[in-house]
Amino acid sequence: MNATKLSLEDILQMTLHDGEGWAVAHARRLLELIKDIGDGLLYDSFALTLATYLHDWGAFPRYAQKGVEHALRSRQVAEAEILPYMDSPSSAKQVVLETIELHDYRDFRQTQSNEALLLREADMLEFLGMMGLAREFARGPKDIEACYRRILDRRAAIQGRFTLPRAREIAQIRLERLDQCLRWLEEESFGIL
């Protein structure tokens, strides 16, 4: 990284370049969810937007490290390679780092900031409903039963974890849609998958 200061637009372009085509669309969907579930909640919009674009960088081939969980790796990349080149107060940087590190639904640690809570709950919502179904099948493999099992496992791990009232409402709608789609999938596969 050179000594040039980075802007949010630079981060968006870097995410577009390194994110394998899925990362920017995922971040944009999360930001829309955050607007909805965070209505009336105080949060640093800049810090949350930055964290949202950076939260999955540890999963990108350029940054991924074998044996290092993607959320932790994303935090490491943000801390060492991005935040030193951004003009923002150290308090905002700490919020960005916490938000990135705690975004994954498999992390049960309590969030300290509204930003971290919002990203985690928005990211969990992304795994439900039609979007969740589409994401799991897009990941592959070309094995319907393996994707189906992953959907069931993730649904079970996420269900009941939402704390924000609007996130709970959206989760209920998405769970109903997901359950209906799974019933159709089972029916159309004759129970074979």
Q: What is the pLDDT of residues 8-55, one digit of tens each?
A: 999 999 999 999 889 999 999 999 999 999 999 999 999 999 999 999
Q: How confident is the model at residue 89 (pLDDT cuts 50, 70, 90)?
A: confident
Indicate if the pLDDT at residue 94 is higher than 70: yes
Q: Specify the long-range contacts of residues 74-79, CB closer than 8 Å, at least 24 apart.
A: 74/100, 74/101, 75/100, 75/101, 78/51, 78/54
Model's pTM, two decimal places? Answer: 0.94
Question: Buried (b) or exposed (e) across 23-61, using 16+ Cβ within 10 A?
Answer: beebbebbbebbeebbeeeebbeebbbbbbbbbbbbbbe
Q: What is the pLDDT of residues 105-125, one digit of tens each?
A: 999 999 999 999 999 999 999
What are the tokens at 153? 């496992």
Q: How confident is the model at residue 91 (pLDDT cuts 50, 70, 90)?
A: confident
